[in-house]
Amino acid sequence: MVNKDSKPNILIIMTDQQRADTIRALGNPIIQTPALDRLVFGGTSFTSAYCPSPVCVASRCSFLLGEYPHQTGTISNTPMPQDRKSLMNFLNDVEYQTHGIGKMHFSPDSKRLWGFESRDFSEEGSDQDHYRDFIDQHGYDYIAATHGERSEFYYIPQPSQLPERLHHTKWVGDKTLDFLDRRDSSRPFFCWTSFIKPHPPFESPVPWNRLYRMIEMDLPYIPPNNDQLLTYWNRLQNRYKYQDQGLDLNLVRVMRAAYYAAISFIDYNVGRILDRLEGEGILDETLILFTSDHGEFLGDYNCYGKRSFLDSAARIPLLVRYPGRFTPNALCDEPVSLVDVLPTCFSVAGIEKQSQHVGTDLAEIASGESDRDGIIGQLGQEETGLYTLITSNFKYIYSAADQKEWLFRRLANRLEERSLVGNPAFAHVLKAYRNRLIAWFRSDGYEQPIDGDQWREFSSTPSIAADPDAEQLFQDGRSVSDRFPKGYSPKIDPMKPRDFGEH
């Protein structure tokens, strides 16, 4: 029974880069997710949930501040504001015990508390943090990439160099259970449990890396003329992720199998947490919210990564369980955003929403009490700005880099296939959505992307170098000068041309 006289606990479980269509109970016949299915059956599933920005830092910033990217000022993987009051700060004011576990991606200071009373520090790089200390103490200090090798290997499926008991996914689950063991039971708790996976590299330990096989995986969604749906960001992203020089459908299916394995391993640890809450008799006294910061193309449209408002990259899972306010085994298809998480937590904690908080309590949306119809999103600004307006019926996207618009009818269980821009029957819809999004920005005092009643045109637009080896990134923290083992001096400089003479 829920004690209506006390504040409920709040548990946010977040993954990184998880698509919305990766939950078995919501229609995926291949993936195994018994714990997430348990949340589906015990709570409300928001099947049209979107990230405010399809990158980690901007999306998480909007989640914590309850504001859209143009209001937080964090419109990409750029620094977060340092002087704003976060969700945790507000919960501290009403005596919640606040604790964070795993990836927060607080930029530029990854060790920032930002309202947390305590944190188990761990980010996706290889810098020294609590997880790196844990690995070193168990004799695995020789592993340079504790979360998988990046750079050229970024999308190459790889077995973990760590055993299951030491893998980061298990560590996040263990640390959550540790917090539940030592928490102050005289206060309600707020715990943000944040997994790094299934963000690439797609690496899982034995036996999870063998759970799915290539031959059983579905093919990526590549509709005819799919290149017409891509923006500058997609083309650039494919380049620096080493994925723009050909397609191997078998390799893509291996990627998808490895991606699913990472999710199922997370699911197993979510199940451990749910079992502990139930065993302590506080499952129904805890608002549980499972979500992700953005999606992943995973080969759809011949693309990889995020940085797009197409559903593969921008639509996310959002499951909410709290019997006191959310109907079990219910579906809600109204568009919602991560900006709605803060007011949802405020509602159960008895905190009044402030003027800067733009989201809506998810319980109000699910019950039909809200008349809101529309959410927005943004990535970048100026000549690389990408913007969207999403309602129950349509999705509108504008890319400043391409000086191009897209309009899609939103259809259940269907990824976008063809834009309606240019179809005279939808010209009035296109104009209405363009005007509405521009007016939305203007009403917030955000003039940067607009010029009067139109999108601002910039004198130059970004381009991608023709050389296929240009603009690729190294993300493993190693330069040419330090990539050789200590004390090893090759006689041949690998960065100089070699003269093999005449033969």
**What's the CATH number where 296 sits?**
3.40.720.10
Residues 403 and 339 in one domain: no
Residues 349 and 395 in one domain: no
Residue 417 belongs to domain with CATH number: 3.30.1120
Under the banding of pLDDT at 50, 70 and 90, the label for residue 484 is low
Q: In this structure, is residue 482 part of a structural domain?
A: no
Q: Write the DSSP symbol of residue 215.
A: G
Res. 188: pLDDT tops 80: yes
Per-residue pLDDT tens over the stretch 123-140: 988 789 999 999 999 999
Structure tokens at 69: 């990217």
Residues 319 and 394 in one domain: no
**What's the confidence (pLDDT) of residue 487?**
63
Close Cβ partners of 144 (under 8 Å, ≥ 6 residues apart): 126, 476, 477, 478
Answer whether 303's CB lies under 8 Å from 54's CB.
no
Under the banding of pLDDT at 50, 70 and 90, the label for residue 447 is very high
Residues 346 and 394 in one domain: no
pTM of the model: 0.94
Residues 350 and 389 in one domain: no
For the chain, how far is it from start to end, CA to CA, in angstroms? 85
Q: In this structure, is residue 468 part of a structural domain?
A: no
Q: In this structure, is residue 334 part of a structural domain?
A: yes
Residues 84 and 229 in one domain: yes
Residues 261 and 395 in one domain: no
Q: In this structure, is residue 479 part of a structural domain?
A: no
3-state secondary structure of 292: strand
Calpha distance 68→342 (Å, rounded): 12
Q: In this structure, is residue 375 part of a structural domain?
A: no
Residues 161 and 241 in one domain: yes
Under the banding of pLDDT at 50, 70 and 90, the label for residue 488 is low
Q: In this structure, is residue 489 part of a structural domain?
A: no
Q: Tell me the pLDDT of the chain averaged across its residues.
A: 93
Residues 202 and 262 in one domain: yes
Last residue of a domain, one of 455, 472, 489: 455
Considering its fold, how many domains does the chain have in total? 2
Residues 134 and 20 in one domain: yes
Q: In this structure, is residue 394 part of a structural domain?
A: yes
Report the percent of the chain where pLDDT is more than 90: 87
Residues 266 and 396 in one domain: no
Res. 493: pLDDT tops 80: no
Calpha distance 434→449 (Å, rounded): 12
Orientation of helix 130-137 relative to helix 168-182, angle to 10° = 110
Q: In this structure, is residue 291 part of a structural domain?
A: yes
Domain ranges, residue 443: 382-455
Residues 25 and 94 in one domain: yes
